Amino acid sequence: MAAQTHKPADPDGAAARRDRAVRAAVEQGLVGGADPAPPLTCLLDLAGIRASAAALTGAFAAALPPGTPVLHAFAVKAAPLVPVLRLLADAGLGCEVAGPGELALARAAGVEPHRTVLDSPAKTTAELREALALGIAVNADNRQELARLDALTAAAPTRSPIGVRVNPQTGAGAIGALSTATATSKFGIALRDPGARAWLVRAFLDRPWLTRLHIHSGSQGVPLPLIAQGVRELHALAEEVNTAAGRRQVDTLDIGGGLPVNFTSDAHTPAFGGYVAALRAAVPALFDGSYGLVTEFGRSLLAKHGLVLARVEYTKTTGGRAIALTHAGVQLATRTVYAPQAWPLRILPYDCAGAPKTGGPVVQDVAGPACFAGDLLATGRELPALAPGDLIAVPDTGAYFFTAHYGYNSLPRPAVHGFTATAQGGIRFAEARPAQSLAQIVAEAGGARPDALL
């Protein structure tokens, strides 16, 4: 892996900002160690999000000839919150969506169709028709979807740029469930299968409206050189198509997202600058300006800027093990609870006033509120002894954690507040998503039709 330098999101320190935000969240009643303050809330560091967006756009702008078309489309599934999409749009980003729900969120955020990309392995005909009518970029996943697009583009003209997703079959990363480029992955058209490459080149020659190639071969656990290798193969395929076509039919390469995130410290490693450097080393021609680029980052833009704050409701000792029973569990950290080896999270202890808690380390389990034994955020973790009314903060949870709520035990979705440090040294909160009410839980559970099954 290319050497990565530690580049904090902001010079004054995201960690210091986080401590101030925790204290302010307690002082302003967003969360607290005792009722009636809420036992759980989620925070987003808005300056951090803007810094990551600027790091992404800056890293590519610095490497490309001026005027090269680039769209950084945020992968909506990482943080499907309309105000977050709007903030990122304000920072110059578009949206990558994987279905009607995410498309509706992007539209609600005011993201324009020409700044939106639709990827999904299972788009319905109606979804494709709508995307083509709106002019949204579409990446076809498979041969049958291409056949549907043949019919739809013949039936009605479209401004949508259309591409094909390929699977370079470059191999898995450290987390099997998140590896998209394996020999048998469900995604895209596999490049190394017998006859596939020739078929794909022919498919482009037969369809002048096919102008893009798409890959998303990175993810958490995938090393940079493996991601870069996939992009190199994408570029080589585009050159092959264009040579066969005798013109620059493929004009844009969508290189996906998948930059991993460091869950073990506040360091932003790998950084977008290191990612661009790895791509430049592996495929220098990608940056010569002859192709427009689309990226689709999710986790690396948001993860480091999210924080869960949860009350320790009780503590106990069982079989010699100290256990803190908190309000943060599987509903917010689903992957960590079900696959703790792959998704370890840091736990930062605070007291009931929101001050960092110190004290000699005690080996503890940090448990969530759900009714199954495996609902643990951390097992055998050394932390200052936690007590009822303390708070735990769980950093790095801005992508795929509290924004991907899991409805186990009908645990309500907590509020999400963005925070900003003010010039006066305070912290200003803005609610991005209200807490789910009990009335909403009942309504979403068929509460309006209690007799429906009688």
Give the catalytic positions in this structure. 371
Handedness of CA 430, 102, 279, 208 (dihedral sign): negative
Q: Is 80 an interacting residue with respect to ligand PLP (CB under 6 A)?
A: no
CB 42 within 8 A of CB 415: yes
Q: Is 78 an interacting residue with respect to ligand PLP (CB under 6 A)?
A: yes
Site size toward ligand PLP (CB under 6 A) is 16
Stretch of 71-79, 145-153, 403-411, 433-441 lying at the interface with ligand PLP (CB under 6 A): 71-79
Output the CA torsion 175→176→179→180 (10° steps): -160
Write the binding mask 162 to 201 for ligand PLP: x where contact by CB under 6 A, - elsewhere.
----------------------------------------
3-state helix, strand, coil in the chain (%, to 5): 35, 20, 45
Q: State the Cα angle at 160 between 159 and 165, rounded to 5°.
A: 155
Smallest distance, Å, CB 317 to ligand PLP? 39
The only residue of 17, 18, 72, 77 in contact with ligand PLP, by rule CB under 6 A: 77
The only residue of 38, 39, 298, 349 in contact with ligand PLP, by rule CB under 6 A: 298
CA pair distance 226, 218, nearest whole angstrom? 8
- Residue 149: helix, strand or coil by DSSP? helix
Smallest distance, Å, CB 406 to ligand PLP? 17
Instruction: Output 237 or 386, the one with its CB closest to ligand PLP.
Output: 237
Stretch of 13-21, 70-78, 189-197, 229-237 lying at the interface with ligand PLP (CB under 6 A): 70-78
The only residue of 116, 179, 217, 300 in contact with ligand PLP, by rule CB under 6 A: 300
CB 25 within 8 A of CB 429: yes
Q: How distant, in Å, are the alpha carbons of 192, 220, 234, 289, 397 from that of 216?
A: 16, 12, 10, 21, 22
Q: Is 94 an interacting residue with respect to ligand PLP (CB under 6 A)?
A: no
The only residue of 127, 145, 233, 296 in contact with ligand PLP, by rule CB under 6 A: 296
Instruction: Output 30 or 73, the one with its CB closest to ligand PLP.
Output: 73
CA pair distance 202, 426, nearest whole angstrom? 61
Stretch of 105-113, 251-259, 336-344, 353-361 lying at the interface with ligand PLP (CB under 6 A): 251-259
Instruction: Output 9 or 391, the one with its CB closest to ligand PLP.
Output: 9
Instruction: Output 257 or 395, the one with its CB closest to ligand PLP.
Output: 257
Write the binding mask 15 to 54 for ligand PLP: x where contact by CB under 6 A, - elsewhere.
----------------------------------------
Smallest distance, Å, CB 168 to ligand PLP? 14
Smallest distance, Å, CB 363 to ligand PLP? 33
Instruction: Output 2 or 404, the one with its CB closest to ligand PLP.
Output: 404
CB 9 within 8 A of CB 382: no
> Binders of ligand PLP among 256-285, rule CB under 6 A?
256-259
CB 64 within 8 A of CB 46: no
Q: Is 327 an interacting residue with respect to ligand PLP (CB under 6 A)?
A: no
Instruction: Output 276 or 386, the one with its CB closest to ligand PLP.
Output: 276
* Pick from 316, 379, 373, 324: nearest CA to 350: 324
The only residue of 75, 109, 309, 328 in contact with ligand PLP, by rule CB under 6 A: 75
CA pair distance 294, 64, nearest whole angstrom? 13
CB 31 within 8 A of CB 311: yes
- Residue 253: helix, strand or coil by DSSP? strand
What is the CA 24 to chain-centroid distance, rounded? 27
* Phi–psi pair at 205, nearest 5 degrees: -60, -35
Binding site for ligand PLP (CB under 6 A): 75, 77-78, 96, 119, 216, 219, 256-259, 296-300
